Every structure is written in structure tokens, then in C-alpha cells.
Structure 1
């Protein structure tokens, strides 16, 4: 390499092979980051309601965050001691086939559209789009039945959460008519 050459040399084969053998450490890093973020959010949460009893709104996020950190640490120790995850051996999965990116992208698009439309259209309409879009992305082509089932599922979900469980969901312009 000359003094004017700015390209870095490729990693040594030993380092590359060590990283391949310990690739599960990436999952540990992800779990550690999500656990730390969860704990940070839970501990900096602005709680203005009066707490009754020992369990408050911070309890579950703190337990989940601490659990994620513990799992990250235990997994890291296992990986560094030589533990390895087993390859998928599911009988319904053909690992020689490529991923079905069309389905993944359709589902992602339906979820993003639902997130964008839930406020202006309300949950019943956006939920119907979600249920029908997911059915379409997963292969159903029953255009006479799927939208009706999606609308029924969405309305039932809205009523259960909004009216029975007391979780307010946006009703949208259609709920003023119904």
C-alpha cells in the first residue's frame, strides 16, 4: 500500500472467521439496545397520575427492559462459550427457496398505509383496509367475501376495544353516521 492509497486492507481471515462463528452476537447487541431504550423510556416517563398500590405505569416497561438486558447478557455468554443456534428445521419451510419479497413488501405497505390512515379515516375504515390488505398479500383472492369479513372484523375489534375495554380508538367520519 502506498502513502497515497486510502483504501483499507480487507479484514484478516482469522477475524472474519471469528465474526462468522459468533454472528449471534448481533442479536445480543440488538437486545441490549432495545432493553436499554426501554429502561431509559420507563425511567424518564412523566407520570402525573396518582399511583394506587405497588404497581404503577413504569413497572411493566422496567421489567421488560431488565428482562431484555438479562437475555442479551445470557445469550452473549452462551455464544462466547461456543453455543450456536440450530438451523431452521421446520417441516413447512423450504430453506432452499428464496424469500417471498413481494408478500413482505405488500404487508409492509398495508401496515404503513394503516398507520397513516388511522387518524383521518378512523380505526373501522383503516382496520378494514388492514385486514383486507393482509388477506390479499397472503394470497386470498375472494373479492366478494374478503372485504365484508375485513369490515366485520374491524367493527368488532373497534367495539371491543373502544366500548368494552375502554381503549379509545379514533372513530373517524363514519362513526358519526353509524
Structure 2
């Protein structure tokens, strides 16, 4: 059994070529940093409640942090042994087309606008604007039905979270009047 050993790159061009061939190592670094962050946060968490049983509030973040570190290490080993991810082969995506930055900007604006308006207007109104704005940004131009669907979706979401799940959402002036 023979093992393949690579000589370290010496020139700048060789280093660039090596980095280009092993670009997945950037994902490994990201996963490593995220794992360290999650573990550090979990281990320094100040928990005031008494733990009832073997699983406490630190357990899941510690498991997730360790999992991220293990995945980062396994991916790094795979990449250094010559493994590569498969290229994107989207069936309905033309990768030669440029990104649609107008849609991205519209969606970001709608999202930020609803985040700003949720406190003064309440979730039902801000959510309706969010749903309607997202539908518009993604290409729907049905102004006869989109606002109605957005309002119903927003009210249903508000009722489910506020009344059924017990997650309080700001009702705003419209819900205060009801």
C-alpha cells in the first residue's frame, strides 16, 4: 500500500494553486471557529436554575460544539487526502447568470422595515407588510389578492404564537382596539 505525500508549496504561484485546490479548508476553519465559539459560550454559561436530571441547559450547546469540532476535523482530513465537494448542479438554476441583487435588496429592505415597524405597529401589521413585500420582491404582482393573503397569514401567525404557544408578540394599536 502506497501513500501519496505532497511536497509543501514553495513559490507564491504554487501556494495559490495549492490553496485553490484545497479551498474547502476555509469551511473547516469556519466550522472550527463556530465550534470553539459555541463551546466557549456553553461552558461559560451562568445557569441559575436547579438541574433536574442528567440533561441541563448546557448539554445541547456542548454536544453541538463538540459536533462542530469533530466535523471540522473530519472534513479537513478528507480535503487534505484529496477529497472535494461536488460542483453545484441545480436543475433549474443557470449558474452563468449573474445574481439578482435587486431582489436581494428588496427582500433585505422589507425584512429590515418590518423589524423596525414591529414595535410601533405590532406584529399583525408589520407581518402583513413583510409577507406582502416578500411576495412582491419575489415577483408576485397580484395586488388584488396578495395583501389579503398577507393579512390572513400574519393574523394566523400572531394567533398561533400569542394564544396557542404562549409566545407573546406585540399586538400594536390594532390588536389593542379589539
Q: How does 1:86-105 map to 2 (within 5 A)?
A: 86-105=86-105
Q: How does 1:91-170 map to 2 (within 5 A)?
A: 91-170=91-170
How far apart are residue 89 of structure 1 and its match?
1.0
Corresponding position of 1:173: 173
How far apart are residue 106 of structure 1 and its match?
1.5
How far apart are residue 141 of structure 1 and its match?
0.8
Flag the 1:73–1:101 CA change in 2: closer, same or farther, 3 A: same
Q: Which has the larger displacement, 35-44 or 17-26?
A: 35-44
Once residues 40 and 123 of structure 2 are traced to their aligned partners in structure 1, the CA distance between those partners, rounded to angstroms, is: 30
Equivalent residue of 2:86, what SS?
Answer: coil
Q: Any gaps of 5 or more consecutive residues in structure 2?
A: 1-10
Q: Which has the larger displacement, 113-122 or 103-112?
A: 113-122
Once residues 59 and 75 of structure 1 are traced to their aligned partners in structure 2, the CA distance between those partners, rounded to angstroms, is: 24
CA deviations 1:49-71 (Å, max 9, x no partner) are 33333333322222222222222
Once residues 51 and 162 of structure 1 are traced to their aligned partners in structure 2, the CA distance between those partners, rounded to angstroms, is: 28
Q: CA RMSD in A?
A: 1.8
Return structure 1 stretches of 4+ with deviation > 4 angstroms: none
How far apart are residue 19 of structure 1 and its match?
0.9
Equivalent residue of 1:173, what SS?
Answer: helix
Once residues 19 and 131 of structure 1 are traced to their aligned partners in structure 2, the CA distance between those partners, rounded to angstroms, is: 43
Question: TM-score, normalising length from structure 1?
Answer: 0.85
Q: Any gaps of 5 or more consecutive residues in structure 1?
A: 1-10
Equivalent residue of 1:33, what SS?
Answer: helix
Question: TM-score, normalising length from structure 2?
Answer: 0.85
Q: How many residues align?
A: 168
Flag the 1:29–1:100 CA change in 2: closer, same or farther, 3 A: same
CA deviations 1:99-142 (Å, max 9, x no partner) are 11111121122222222222332222222122111111111111
Once residues 37 and 100 of structure 2 are traced to their aligned partners in structure 1, the CA distance between those partners, rounded to angstroms, is: 32
